[in-house]
Each structure stands twice: as structure tokens, then as C-alpha cells.
Structure 1
Amino acid sequence: MGAPTTELLAAQRHRRLLRSGVWSAYLLALVVVTVLFGPPTQRIYQALWIVVGIAAFTPDRPWRDQIRILVDWVPLIAALVVYDHSRGIANTLGMPVRVQEPAVVERGLFGGTVPTVWLQEHLAGDGGYQWWTVLTGLVYTSHFLVPWLIAAIFYVQSRERWSKYMRRILLLSYLGLLTYVLIPAAPPWYAARAGVIHTEIQRSTGFGLRMYSVDIGADWLAAHSNPVAAIPSLHAAFALLVSVALWPLARHWWWRVPLAVFPVAMGFTLVYGGEHYVIDVLLGWVYVGLAIVLARMWERRRAPTALQPAPAPRDSG
């Protein structure tokens, strides 16, 4: 029995070396690319890194399993690419753009004050960048990275958990898209430029990250954003969805504290930076609840019904 045991240990050691070597090479390449060009935020480019990363994490899996990664991810990536491009033309389909109405509702909720204006007047100082705006810049940019990092981790851990998570991502995205088409609405910075808000408002991409050579948020927005897709805030919605997805996995309170803080920090960043009104953030959170309810309804309908026990045979006597 000594020889088979030795061969088994050698095979396991070889597998561990292969995994660690391939994974280390992948991480090194990702770090180099991130330092030189910034984190991958463009949808297809980012998806390529995710798929390759999943394959690199377990390079010794059978080739059929490697193909399965593509089969699982490509349709979802395609659906999100369609969403990205549809979102960009939602305001060109003939519906009137709501510029004044959101500002009126915001003033009505906050005693005649627009929270974005109040926050920038009290926190932005003389218009210079405060040291803590680096944090708001990182929170804002996390929207382009964190949800997809969580998706990759879920896929490696449990395909079922990943499927449920991505189902909610897609539902949330397309619920938002439907609203953008039916009710295109302008954010605070747009309303300020249109004269609806009589105060200059700086955008959140101008805070924090502009002091670096790579303005991640601005680059992504310039390529993909729709300037009148304010209602609901999917930035706020995705932050809450990430926290909801991770909450059951957080066994200790010190893990749940950042999960509870993250959506609030995102909401603050969006309002402070002029990207969204408070009502946009709140509606984004409502849409998370709606997406979860719809996903659970679909999952219950798709769940296999439990087999009913066969009736006991009657006594013929």
C-alpha cells in the first residue's frame, strides 16, 4: 500500500503546485494590467478577465468543465451587454425627460432643500478636494467591480448560489432599463446645468479619483452612461444587492457591519456627488426588493415538486 499512497500524495502535490502557479501568474498579470491601464471595467474586457480567472483558479478541472464556464457565462454577459447599449439609447425613444419633477419632489421631502446642494455647500468647502473624497471615489467605483467579483467567487463556490445571484442581477438591470425607457429622469448635476437647480453641482466622478491618472468612473460613464437614467439608482441598488447576497454568509457581526454600511455609503456618495437624488437611491433599494420577490417566485415555480408518498395498498380481506 506504500507505493499507491506515495503516488497519490505526489499527484496531490503536483495539483497544488499547478493551481498555485497558474493562479499566481493570473494575479500577477491582472496587477500589471491594472497598474498600467486601470482596473478592467468595460463589460466584455472585464468578463474576459473573470472567465479566465475562474479557469485559472482550478486549471486541473476536466476540459468539459472548462467549456461549461463559457456556456454559463456567455449568455449572461450577452444579456448585460444588451442592457448596457439599450440603457444608452433609452432617452432617445420619445418619452419626455423629467428634469424638473425629481427636483420638486426632493425639495418637497426636505423642506425646500435639495440634499445634494446642502451636502456640497457644507462638505466640499471652497471646491477643493478633501482627503476623504478618495473614499467616496472608491465607493463610487466599486459599482463597476464588486458585483462581478462577488459573482466570480460565487461561481467557484457554488453554481447554484451564482445562478440565484445572477438572476437577481439581470432582473434588477432590466427593471431599471424598463423604467429608464418609460420615465427618463435627470440627475441633480443635469438639473443644475438646465437651470432647474440654481446652484453649480459637481459630479461624483470629480471627487477623489480625479487626483489620479486614471479616472475610472469618468471613463466608464463616458463610454456607457445615459445622462437621464437617474430613476432608479442602480448604483445604490447593486450595492444593496451585494450586501443582501453576502449577509447570510457573514457569520459574525464584524462582517455584517461593513455589509450594512456599504449601501449607505454608496447612497451618500451618489447624493453628495450630484449623480442621484435621495429619492433615486430609495427607489433603487425598492427595486432590489422587487427583483428578489420576482426571482423567488420564479424559483418556486421551477423547483421540482416533492414526490407524494404512494397510497398504502388496501386490505383485500
Structure 2
Amino acid sequence: MTSHSPTSRATPFTWLCTLLGVGHVVLVAATGRLRWDHVVADVLLVGVAWAGPRSRRFLAGGLPLWLTGMLLDSQGLWLFLRGTIHTGDLWEWERQWFPAPGGTTWPEWWATRFTPVLDLLCGFSYAAYLYEVFLVAIFFFVKKDTRFEKLCWAFLVVNAMGVVIYLVYPAAPPWYVLKYGPGPADLAALPSPAGTARFDALLGINYFASFYSRNTNVFGAMPSLHASYPFMVVFYVWNKGWAWRVPAAAFSALVAFSAIYLTHHYILDVLAGMVAAIAAYLAVEAVFARRAVPAAAMTVPLTSRGDTRA
């Protein structure tokens, strides 16, 4: 019987994942940001990469998910590159283009008209928006559907777009303007759960307080990635019929409304998030379509290529 060492199963992709996992642990440790979840994510990445071909199939989509997590978690390292911080621009444009009753903005209007029912409903959607992406991706993975890879890569692309825009056009969210005003940016301002704090209070938990305490970029309102994720999922489940379309579209609409109701985003942020989702979806679809052309050409019978040999 022939024995196989772990190294004999290694591929360049295995070593790439190992380098990324180890390199990330070193980076977060060197920058004083090491947490238990960093270690778990990095160990999982390396462990799955070395577990064999079947497990490595998951990394076709798992790697972009890991890269997304690391990208968002590391935002604080390059905030010094961002441009002038905008605190009142979006507020004024929103007031002019999408005025609420009284000539104010919709986030400010809802800030004084919240209800426990909407707090629970919107808080739930704001907590579940990430899990929807993961659950749909896992479903596609189990079904061996190529949309698993596509959705995961589109997820990375839309987040990368968001991070770049946050640097080019850093903008304050509505809750910041309500609390600090539209004047010069207060760089000492702490992240806030805003309206989601009411969800925590109703349930007696600190889910959003803990979640937003890790936010390293207060001035990342435009675009709304909260709106991007569920909107992008709609495109990937669309051809599965109305049983998938209606719930996905309804959830996307709920998250979009929640972003405004909870004073985390403006309507403009939500629309920009949807545009980013479309752009990411089309970009990934184009790349996968180009990858599929050579593969399809390899399966064409020789006779159909004009081969006249006997």
C-alpha cells in the first residue's frame, strides 16, 4: 500500500492559503489587533486547504469570503489615505432630492417616529443580512451549483468597491449628523449602533452594541453595503422561480428601509449600494463567462472543428 504524506497532496493553491492564513495572523498580532476570531478564521482557511481535494472545493468560494472578512476588519490600517470627510453633503442632497414631511430628511423623520414593531422587524433584518448571503452560498455549495463561487466572489468585489469609495468619499451617516451636526468631522467620534440600540434594549441583549464597537470607520455611509448584499442575492436566486424571488426581493426591500429607519444610511446610500451590487454581479458574471468559453471549446468534438481524418 502506497502512503501519501500531507505534502504530496499540496498544490500551489494550498500553499497560497497557508501563506495568507499565517501572514494574516502575523499582521494582526504585529498591529495589536489579534482576537480569537482571527485565529479561528485563519486556522480554518489553512486547515481546509490541507484537508484534501473535496474540502478544497469549498475554498473556491470560501477564500473570497475569508478575504472579505480580512479586508473589512483591516480598514483602520489605511484610513490615513482617505480624502476630506463629508458630514453635511449627503444630508443636504437628501433633503433636496428626497424630502420628508416638514422638509427634513427621512432618517431624521424616522428618528422621532419609531415603534417597537418596526424596531424589532428592522433590527432583525439588520442582524440577518449577512447570514442570508452565507446561507444562500452554502445552499449553492451543497447543490454543487457554480453560483456558489459567483456569489462569494461578487461578495468580495462589492465590498472592495465599498472600501475604495469610503476612502475616496468618506461620508458621515445620518446618526452622526443628528448627534454631532454637519460641521468639521470629529475624528474622535465613536461608532454607534444608532437605531439598532432599541432592538438590543427590547430583547435585553448587546448584539449590535458589540457589533458596532468593532467598527473602525465611522465615516463609511456611502454606499450602503447593508443594501448591497441582499439586493445582490436577488440576482443569484432569480432563475429559481417566484418561490425564491419574492422572499429575496422582500428581504432586500426590508433591509433597504431598515438602513434609513435606523438612521444608519440615507436613501442615496441605499441606491448607491444597489448600483454597486449590480456592478459586482455583472463583473463576476463576465469573468466566469470568459472562463467558460475555453472550457466549452475543449469539449467540442473533433469533427465539429473541421477534422477530416478517417
* TM above 0.5: yes
Are 1:107 and 2:98 an aligned pair? no
Q: For structure 1, list consecutive stretches of 5 or more residues without a partner in the other structure.
A: 1-41, 55-62
Higher-Rg structure is: 1
**AA of the residue aligned to 1:278:** I
Are 1:281 and 2:267 an aligned pair? no
Which of residues 58, 71, 77 is equivalent to 1:83? Answer: 71
**Aligned residue in 1 for 2:147:** 161
**AA of the residue aligned to 1:207:** R
**AA of the residue aligned to 2:226:** H
Using the TM superposition, give the Cα deviation of residue 169 of structure 1 relative to its aligned residue in structure 2, in angstroms. 0.7
**AA of the residue aligned to 1:158:** K
Using the TM superposition, give the Cα deviation of residue 203 of structure 1 relative to its aligned residue in structure 2, in angstroms. 1.3
Which of residues 139, 146, 169 is equivalent to 1:183? Answer: 169
Using the TM superposition, give the Cα deviation of residue 233 of structure 1 relative to its aligned residue in structure 2, in angstroms. 0.3
- Superposed CA deviations along residues 91-120 of structure 1, whole A, max 9, x for unmatched, are 432411111111111011024421111123
RMSD between aligned residues:
3.2
Distance in 2, matches of 1:69 and 1:210, equals 42
**Aligned residue in 1 for 2:293:** 304
Cα gap change, 1:73/1:45 in structure 2, threshold over 3 Å: closer, same or farther?
farther
Cα gap change, 1:186/1:205 in structure 2, threshold over 3 Å: closer, same or farther?
same
Within-5 A mapping of 1:52-67: 64-67=52-55
- Equivalent pairs counted in the alignment come to 254
Which of residues 250, 256, 277 is equivalent to 2:245? Answer: 256
Are 1:219 and 2:210 an aligned pair? yes
Distance in 2, matches of 1:149 and 1:283, equals 25
**Aligned residue in 1 for 2:227:** 236
Cα gap change, 1:247/1:51 in structure 2, threshold over 3 Å: closer, same or farther?
farther
**AA of the residue aligned to 2:246:** V
Cα gap change, 1:51/1:211 in structure 2, threshold over 3 Å: closer, same or farther?
farther
Which of residues 182, 201, 216 is equivalent to 1:210? Answer: 201
Which of residues 51, 56, 66 is equivalent to 1:68? Answer: 56
1:243 and 1:262 in contact (8 A); partners too = no
2:193 and 2:212 in contact (8 A); partners too = no
Distance in 2, matches of 1:47 and 1:213, equals 32
Cα gap change, 1:237/1:48 in structure 2, threshold over 3 Å: closer, same or farther?
farther
**Identity in percent:** 25
- Superposed CA deviations along residues 40-60 of structure 1, whole A, max 9, x for unmatched, are xx67758989999x9xxxxxx
Cα gap change, 1:258/1:51 in structure 2, threshold over 3 Å: closer, same or farther?
farther
1:239 and 1:263 in contact (8 A); partners too = yes
Distance in 2, matches of 1:161 and 1:203, equals 35
Distance in 2, matches of 1:103 and 1:227, equals 16
- Superposed CA deviations along residues 1-52 of structure 1, whole A, max 9, x for unmatched, are xxxxxxxxxxxxxxxxxxxxxxxxxxxxxxxxxxxxxxxxx67758989999
Within-5 A mapping of 1:110-189: 110-111=98-99, 112-121=103-112, 123-124=113-114, 130-189=116-175
Distance in 2, matches of 1:174 and 1:83, equals 8
Cα gap change, 1:301/1:149 in structure 2, threshold over 3 Å: closer, same or farther?
same
Distance in 2, matches of 1:245 and 1:120, equals 34
Using the TM superposition, give the Cα deviation of residue 86 of structure 1 relative to its aligned residue in structure 2, in angstroms. 3.3
Distance in 2, matches of 1:140 and 1:165, equals 20
1:91 and 1:97 in contact (8 A); partners too = no
**AA of the residue aligned to 2:80:** T
1:99 and 1:186 in contact (8 A); partners too = yes
Distance in 2, matches of 1:254 and 1:313, equals 50
Secondary structure of the residue that 2:293 maps to in structure 1? coil
TM-score of the superposed pair, with normalisation by structure 1? 0.70
2:65 and 2:155 in contact (8 A); partners too = no
2:193 and 2:209 in contact (8 A); partners too = no
